[in-house]
Amino acid sequence: MPDLFGEIAAGAVEVVPFDGGSRPYTYSIPKALQAVLKVGHLVRVPLGNRVKLGVVWKVPAEPPEGTRLRPITTLEHEQPVLTDDVCRLAEWMAEYYGCSFNSVLETVLPSAVRTGVRPVLRRLLTLVKPVDAEVLVALRRRAPKQALLIDFLSAQVVPVERNKATEGLGIGQSAVDSLITKGLVAEEAKVILRTAYDDPFADSEIVASAGHTLNPEQAAAVTSMGESLSQRQFKTHLLHGVTGSGKTEVYISLIRQALQLGGSAIFLVPEVALTPQTVGRLRSRLADLGTQVVVWHSHLSAGERFDAWMAMALGQARVVVGARSAIFAPLPDVRLIVVDEEHEPSFKQSETPLYHGRDVAVMRAKLLNATCILGSATPSLETWSNAQAGRYGFVRLSKRVDDRPMPAFRIIDMRREVLHAKGSPVLARELVDGLRERLERREQSILFLNRRGHSRACVCPACGQATPCPHCSVPLTLHRTDHTVRCHLCDYRAPAPTICPACKSPEIRWKGHGTQRAEEVLAQLFPRARVARMDADTMGKKHLFREVLSKFRAGHIDILLGTQMIAKGLDFPRVTLVGILDADLSLQMPDFRAAERTFQLLTQVAGRAGRGDIEGVVYVQTFQPASDPIQFAKRCDYEGFAAAELERRKEFGYPPGRHLIRHLFRGRSEEKVIFTAEHWVRELEKVLPKNVEIRGPTVCPIGCIKDLHRHHVWYLVPAVAPFMRILRPLREKILGDAEVADILDVDALDCG
């Protein structure tokens, strides 16, 4: 057995082994690797009595004095799998979000890379130079198979895969080897992004490669933001453009500029599944630059993920479009990072580390001296405040493309509808008339209801009880398609009850309505209309959403009904009516951001109407017609809403004036959870500065999920880093009970 312990190294590196704790280990560098080893390389190293995969984190490292270091065993790939700036970004994330370094590493590197999936190597053959006629005649006589290969390669303009050439020509490998030995043919082993994998965006919508002529506002935006791009200067810009103002065209122009400067670009979107139009535009508009656009999405297999990752690392792809995890893409020389719809909550990770893709994008741009663009028609108040304070550049697109008018808003007071209908109607009379008119004119409509299922809760009029989930603090939702009740948190399912589970009364009533109920009503009112429903229940089949959207674009669907997945990034010129069936849903949430989210949702959904030549109209069904979010959305007045909401936030000390850190405690024993949270707060209060405010501990709005009781503490702090330096060592000292988990959520968005 070879001795793994080398002499004291003249050169050493720090390596972070996967599943090896949360710290790097120092190893010596074998002579063969001393000239090639870089930060981000994937290597195998001895750890204990095993050999593990790990990432080189620091080159060179200072070896501990007098220590005999174990050497790196092997180098997995010639190309680093992480860039140096992403390594520094990961260190910042661990500090800022108060999580273990290993959890960050698992997030930054795809599992396909961490588990050692091997790349697909293709051996490519090219003719070194034209072969002399005499040599070729001699080969035809003595080695006809070699001559056949030379004739074939002479007719090719690009390298040819070795296996395909030998199989197609019916020649053996020895003939190829002989030509390589003679110096007539060159062979190169290359990692190439697969073209055969099932990429749902490979056949994205075909668009004109020439693009559109930018209007004056768009051109001014490109010029303004392109200045920091051309100067290689870190700058974050807010691109505030109304819905339909052509923000995507601005992004594409700036991406082209970044590529022409020799750099790469990252394009973050809230949900890749709903952006085939964006991908189609990018691939078409960038084709003349010979740029491969990688779409980073959850449907790729492990091997496909590895290929895509390596294509970026090798520089074969210079643009990536993806959701939040695409921010860690190992693209070389990133010059531009775009975060489209930066206000979307989906950019916030829901599992440790609970990072925000937008904020990580800004930090990565800072590390790279790159340009970061945050685009939205309804920016988050945090981003808006940074722009107003001058920390971010500010560019505005105030008009829709071709001066198309914004859709008309019609607010329907559902209190009157209830009195007229003697119940709670799903669709108001005015909305029904509007839908009928669009069907007669063969125009299309979108109906938005952010609640799936049939009915929200089962209520017994005899005892007043609602049927609860046995594992969570929420009522069960009726799903009529399979006659079950379900919990949308833990997915508990049971047959729909016919009598009250508590008092056995047969007089149970189902209250509230979801997309299934709305679909039934539409079928009753418009039996000839072609209706499609898009929610988590119907879109389970892979790529089905694309089929539905393609049919809708082609005019084969009259009414598209759906949840939040239809509120983002859809551009259908034939849609002239948008109906929002329950605008009060998000207002009812026990969250200080409820008004902001309601305004954003109304504005974004309304923006799907009137994007073609025909003016659109938006119907908003609400029980609170006078509320600020609805009134400001009606006037398309983002600035007015932001001013009023920021004043309210300032009064109560909420973000963006201060950072909110949520500390969640959960466990099976509620008594133990309460004791742990209260003990923690008492100890923390002893060392906290006066400028930090603690609120809690208190039970969460949803007090139990999956049989785990939940209490939380809020910290409102002027700056995160100083507070984390106090909290982290105390947390390691006091907390750690296996029966009570504690999770830190820095800059929390979810308060439930």
Q: What is the 3-state secondary structure (H, E, C) of 148-163?
A: HHHHHHHCCCCCEEHH
**CATH fold match for the domains 12-83 and 216-402:** no
Q: Which residues 6+ apart lie within 8 Å of 442 measured at CB?
A: 555
pLDDT of residue 150: 86
Residue 49 is classified by DSSP as T
Q: Give 294's Cβ-side CA count (13 Å radius).
A: 33
Note whether 27 and 70 are within 8 A (CB). yes
The residue to which tokens 């990536």 are assigned: 320
φ, ψ of residue 453 to 5 degrees: the values are 95, -175
Q: Which residues 6+ apart lie within 8 Å of 619 measured at CB?
A: 410, 412, 428, 430, 431, 434, 577, 578, 579, 580
pLDDT of residue 198: 47
Q: 12-83, which class in CATH?
A: alpha beta
What is the topology classification, in CATH, of domain 216-402? Rossmann fold (3.40.50)
pTM for the model: 0.86
- Residue type (1 letter), 382: E
Give the number of other Cβ atoms within 10 Å of residue 299's Cβ: 16
Rounded CA separation 207/510 (Å): 47
Q: What angle do CA 98, 104, 106 make, to 5 degrees?
A: 150
Q: Under DSSP, is residue 700 helix (H, G, I), strand (E, B) or coil?
A: strand
Q: Which of 29, 25, 24 is nearest to 7 (CA)?
A: 29
pLDDT of residue 202: 56
* Residues of the chain under the 50 pLDDT cut: 1-9, 195-198, 208
Note whether 702 and 752 are within 8 A (CB). yes
Q: Under DSSP, is residue 259 helix (H, G, I), strand (E, B) or coil?
A: helix
φ, ψ of residue 714 to 5 degrees: the values are -105, 135
Render pLDDT for 627-656 as a digit per residue (tens, 0 to 9). 899 999 888 899 999 999 999 999 999 999
**Residues 32, 36, 38, 41: is their CA dihedral positive or negative?**
negative
**Domain ranges for the chain:** 12-83, 121-191, 216-402, 408-454+513-648, 659-746
Q: Which long-range contacts (CB under 8 A, 24 or more apart) does 637-640 make?
A: 638/240, 638/377, 638/378, 638/379, 638/599, 638/603
Instruction: Provide Rg for the chain, Cα atoms.
Output: 30
Rounded CA separation 648/657 (Å): 11
Q: 659-746, which class in CATH?
A: alpha beta
DSSP letter string, 272-325: GGG-HHHHHHHHHHTGGGTPEEEEE-TT--HHHHHHHHHHHHTTSEEEEEESGG
CATH architecture of 408-454+513-648: 3-Layer(aba) Sandwich (3.40)
pLDDT of residue 588: 78
φ, ψ of residue 418 to 5 degrees: the values are -65, -40
pLDDT of residue 596: 92
The residue to which tokens 């954003």 are assigned: 600
